[in-house]
Structure 1
Amino acid sequence: MTIRTRAKRLVYLVHRWTGVAGCVLMALWFISGVVMLYVGYPKLTPWERLGPLPALAATDCCTPPDAILDDVSPSAAGLVLTSVGGEPSYVLRDARNRLRVLVAADGAPRQPVTPERALAEARVFAPTATLRHAGEIHEDRWTHSRGLDAHRPLHRIQLGGDSPGLLYISSTTGQAVMDAPLAQQRWNYVGAWLHWLYMFRDRPVDPAWSWLVIALSAMCTVTAVTGMTVGLWRWRFRGRYKSGARTPYQEGWMRWHHIIGLAFSAFVCTWIFSGLMSMNPLDIFSPAHGRPDVAAYRGYPAVAADALKQPARIIHTLEQTGFSPVELHWRSLGSEEYVLAYDASVRTRVVRADMDDTLSVTDAWQPGAVMSAAQRLFAFPPAASRMLTEYDIYYYQRHPEAMNGARLLGLPALRLDYEDAGGARVYIDLRTGEVAMSLDRSQRASRWLFYFLHSWDTPALLRMGPARDLAIIALSVGGLAISLTGVVIGWRRLRGKLPWRQRIGR
């Protein structure tokens, strides 16, 4: 037997025996992937979080920040004025991501989040639902996100009525941080929860789960690639077999597995491979040359302008422009402190203090105002800059059901390319002044090897809407047909190898 013959036989054997389990997994992934087009993993989106909040009142609102911060600037304290349980509250976040809440009226620390307080917050978000406190949990099947770490343990509130489900309340701040409608939970059992094999995950960072998914994805990638290879070898592109067909297989399941496999093999291979890439195996897409220095970009304001220390004045100024804020965030950019205001529709305004301590309200920062601060993001200066008024191939908004659909990426935005070794590209959302995204070369490669191949998510394709969905569904049905025929073939072969089957035959 020649080396070439042995190699071909090895390919056949690898496809045969990895396909026994691999086709079962791929069938489940194709089914759950279609569900995920329309039902995402539970998350509390910004519009869901901000929508129920009451507008902040300019009269009798709040103690000024400098009365509660002990000479620390509001932006350095990560100060946010919002409503908790329907009452104005300050939320402070320190450098170690620890949170604390103060009563806005007098600056007093809020009492611990009791079940009664958790229920009061839930009433703000679901005023018509019947509520029941279902205990505290550190983590369950819907709360794996690391973004919830600062809020654990979480109060679980059972919602009844017309929109049943679960609402999770932070034990640290008393704010709603996650909702999981009952219908979304049920669909997720055959959607994202099944797709990502979350039944094997029991903590936010779970290396055992990560490597299990990586190993299974790698095995299925090998199954798909060897299957396409075998299919091409066995197909008669010139001439036909004695049966008159181009496939040598006469038995129904094998015949259809071969024909459908060739028709959809390219899609199956790229889709399974891109699923493997989603796990970032061996950290191949992690930045190799450092991340942007966001703290240097923001700067260190020594003293906030007097006008920015007066929440009532800020709210009144915003109201004069027809804007009703529900949250105020004290931020800094290049050592200049400002206030970023949100309304219930997640629209934003930037409030700055002029030299004469008057307040000005704008929709967005001008590119020139952020360029000097952007010089500090890396040791190398930007080599090129461009203002975006439309989304580009890397910076774009996904629909809410997508994995990153809750991340807001606004326009206009400033795109900066740096001269560092990693070829960093930074996007600054000019509506907020914040660094919205940073991608080096490896992360841009991930955008194509994972997001594009797996989701067909270029802005042009996303704008196609239902046409894109129908194309993905049709290809997924083809992949499912390959997998199900493979399951039948694998089971028949495996059944013939089982010891009990051989004993019955004798």
Structure 2
Amino acid sequence: MSILLFLHRWVGVVLALFMLVWFSTGLSIAFIGSPTIDRAQRLAHAPALLPQDGWLSLGEALTASAPARAQAVKAGGGGMGGGGMGGGAARARADHGGAKSERGVADARLLRIGEEPVWLVEDDAGRRFALSATTGALLEFDREAAERIARDWLGAPSLLYLDTVEAAVGLRNAEALKPFHRFAVGDAAGTQIIVSARSGEVAQVATRVERAFVYAGNWLHLFRWLDALGAGDYRRDALTYAGFFAAVGAFTGIVLGWIKWRPGFFGRPTYARGRTQPYRESWLKYHFWAGLIGGTFAFGWAASGFLSTNPGQIFSQATASREELGRYRGAGLPQTLREWRPSATLGLSADVVELSWSRLGEEALLIAQSRDGARRAVSAPGAVASLGEPALLAAAERLKEGAAIAGAETLADYDSYYFANHRQTALDKPLPVLRVDFADAERTSLYIDPADGRLLAKFDTSRRAYRWLYSAVHHWDFGWFRNHWLWWGWMGVWISFGVALSASAVVLAWRRLRRSLPAPQAASGEKRESRAAQTA
């Protein structure tokens, strides 16, 4: 009992303010969306593609830009992506020149950025390049070009350039897009727009209030302020330890609360002097009841927050590795993908804003994307009309080399592992999907988009456990509940209990800290003099 009390008391003293900030920022995250531009917004603002004769094929653009891309990678540019590919490996690729980079194309899209037709290419190391579809030059978007793109997006006659930054608040997983040009609209709402200097894509449009909520949400909640202090390398460790000790504080509080609680139903006194609760002082009563009612949820959020950082790598990785994705796509680019040239004879409607290549093995598929998100296959010499199930299964087998397929099923609706949350659309999580289950020790399942062959998700036994221990507990994103209006009320009520619990903990921690600190010498002397005067 004494050990529990000691742990609860002093963990609370150290982390009470942190917990108050964590729960308060959790409210912002739960109810305020991110100002980051999503796929649907990007398509809605995209200009019509309308291909013209004389545009280059993907292979021609890659060949023409190979020296510039190799130089950009050597210089540390080229949109180095995060997520598992270290700088050493990337430099090794660059040192071999541009010839091999063609075989490492992970994604290739033809679109207009401003008035310029561009092949937007991502290689298998996560680097992103914008290649001119008319000259093959590697494009960089300077301040003037970025301002034109931003004006077109907003329909604004003029913008005020602010700065060019390596990172922007509220942008996640955007390493391949940096640096960013920032512009102010100059309106009453304080709107700012951010454009990638690497790809020319608009990354964020946010008002002053939206930026404030980003600071009051993810920036504080996920310790992004450590990045601003130059201590970003320690952010994950800080989150891990904070989450662990917060869970310890919450758990010991639950145990102590249940030990102390002697329920007196219908007002029946169960404590000394006719009381029905263990504490007389207001803040202690407040803390006791908030913990008794909401402590289990506070513990669940703290413990799942601790697990979210994957401490000690106890869970498998969230996505397929670069090597696995390379095997999935297959080695080399199909000839038709390298040689096909866009032209006016395609006869695409003005609603088509993008053409993209998808490939699995030797099969290549050309897809037209409309402004409303609709996709359709486009006829091209040597290209297939669709990626059939045999090609999808063969790609899945390449990824899990040596493992046999146990079953495959086309899902017309979401399941417990592949689903869209309340802020995602069918563009983010398309349906139907092909789920391929393997008979391996990890019981791996792959979720594949049959429309374009993309690998959408990968789950094994470890990742399924993570889904329930972290995501389900932290976000309550399961079953029908995740997109029901009841979710909003449920989250609001229990996060509010967490705020109340941690606010009372701050007051009690401050009191405990004041009592524990030695009194200043001057104050001690005054007290002695006062006592002496009273005695005299």
Q: CA deviation at 1:95?
A: 3.4
Query: Counterpart amino acid of 1:437?
Result: A
Q: CA deviation at 1:91?
A: 2.3
Answer whether contact 1:287 1:443 (CA < 8 A) is retained.
yes
Q: Residue 19 in 1 paired to residue 32 in 2?
A: no
Query: Counterpart amino acid of 1:295?
Result: G
- Separation in structure 2 between the aligned mates of residue 47 and residue 90 of structure 1, nearest angstrom: 20
Decide which of 52, 63, 88 is 2:117's aligned counterpart: 88
Decide which of 480, 500, 504 is 1:485's aligned counterpart: 504
Match of 1:384 in 2: 407
Match of 1:412 in 2: 432
Q: 1:387 to 1:308 in 2, by over 3 A?
A: farther
Answer whether contact 2:358 2:367 (CA < 8 A) is retained.
yes
Q: CA deviation at 1:237?
A: 4.5
- Separation in structure 2 between the aligned mates of residue 302 and residue 290 of structure 1, nearest angstrom: 20
Match of 1:442 in 2: 462
Q: CA deviation at 1:259?
A: 2.2
1:102 is paired with a residue of what secondary structure?
Answer: strand
- Separation in structure 1 between the aligned mates of residue 116 and residue 508 of structure 2, nearest angstrom: 63
- Separation in structure 2 between the aligned mates of residue 455 and residue 174 of structure 1, nearest angstrom: 33
Q: CA deviation at 1:395?
A: 0.3
Matches within 5 A, 1:246-285: 246-285=276-315
Q: 1:315 to 1:492 in 2, by over 3 A?
A: farther
Decide which of 135, 149, 157 is 2:163's aligned counterpart: 135
Matches within 5 A, 1:69-80: 69-70=62-63, 77=105, 78-80=107-109
- Separation in structure 1 between the aligned mates of residue 337 and residue 436 of structure 2, nearest angstrom: 33
Deviations 1:437-465 (A, max 9, x none): 11221111111111110111114112312
Decide which of 396, 413, 421 is 2:441's aligned counterpart: 421
Q: Residue 99 in 1 paired to residue 99 in 2?
A: no
Q: Residue 469 in 1 paired to residue 501 in 2?
A: no
Decide which of 355, 373, 379 is 1:346's aligned counterpart: 373
Q: 1:136 to 1:256 in 2, by over 3 A?
A: closer
Q: 1:22 to 1:391 in 2, by over 3 A?
A: same
Deviations 1:68-116 (A, max 9, x none): 4449998854432111223211223333333333332x32415542211
Answer whether contact 1:27 1:484 (CA < 8 A) is retained.
yes
Q: Residue 371 in 1 paired to residue 393 in 2?
A: yes
Give the share of equivalent positions with the same residue, in percent: 28
Query: Counterpart amino acid of 1:50?
Result: L
2:32 is paired with a residue of what secondary structure?
Answer: coil
Deviations 1:17-53 (A, max 9, x none): 1112322222222221111122234422112222211
Q: CA deviation at 1:360?
A: 7.2
Deviations 1:200-225 (A, max 9, x none): 22499933111112111111111100
The 10-residue stretch of structure 1 (286-295 or 228-237) with the greater mean CA deviation from structure 2: 286-295
Segments of structure 2 that go 5 or more residues without pairing to the other structure are 64-98, 529-536
1:331 is paired with a residue of what secondary structure?
Answer: strand
Q: 1:178 to 1:420 in 2, by over 3 A?
A: farther
Answer whether contact 2:169 2:215 (CA < 8 A) is retained.
no
Q: 1:360 to 1:367 in 2, by over 3 A?
A: closer
Match of 1:295 in 2: 326
Superposition RMSD in Å: 3.1
Q: CA deviation at 1:336?
A: 0.2
TM-score (norm 1): 0.86
Query: Counterpart amino acid of 1:185?
Result: R
- Separation in structure 1 between the aligned mates of residue 319 and residue 202 of structure 2, nearest angstrom: 37
The 10-residue stretch of structure 1 (83-92 or 175-184) with the greater mean CA deviation from structure 2: 175-184
Match of 1:311 in 2: 342
2:343 is paired with a residue of what secondary structure?
Answer: helix
Deviations 1:402-435 (A, max 9, x none): 8xx8981110001112122322111002232100
Q: 1:358 to 1:99 in 2, by over 3 A?
A: closer
Match of 1:3 in 2: none
Answer whether contact 2:377 2:385 (CA < 8 A) is retained.
yes
1:499 is paired with a residue of what secondary structure?
Answer: coil
Q: 1:190 to 1:393 in 2, by over 3 A?
A: same
Segments of structure 1 that go 5 or more residues without pairing to the other structure are 1-7
TM-score (norm 2): 0.81
Match of 2:516 in 1: 497
Decide which of 355, 361, 375 is 1:334's aligned counterpart: 361
Decide which of 159, 165, 182 is 1:156's aligned counterpart: 182
Match of 1:31 in 2: 24
The 10-residue stretch of structure 1 (132-141 or 291-300) with the greater mean CA deviation from structure 2: 291-300
Matches within 5 A, 1:207-226: 207-226=233-252
The 10-residue stretch of structure 1 (340-349 or 49-58) with the greater mean CA deviation from structure 2: 340-349
Q: 1:234 to 1:306 in 2, by over 3 A?
A: closer
Decide which of 89, 101, 124 is 2:152's aligned counterpart: 124
Aligned residues: 483
2:31 is paired with a residue of what secondary structure?
Answer: coil
Quick check: which one's helix share is greater? Answer: 2
- Separation in structure 1 between the aligned mates of residue 291 and residue 58 of structure 2, nearest angstrom: 65
The 10-residue stretch of structure 1 (193-202 or 171-180) with the greater mean CA deviation from structure 2: 171-180
Answer whether contact 2:283 2:508 (CA < 8 A) is retained.
yes
Q: CA deviation at 1:343?
A: 1.9
Query: Counterpart amino acid of 1:265?
Result: G
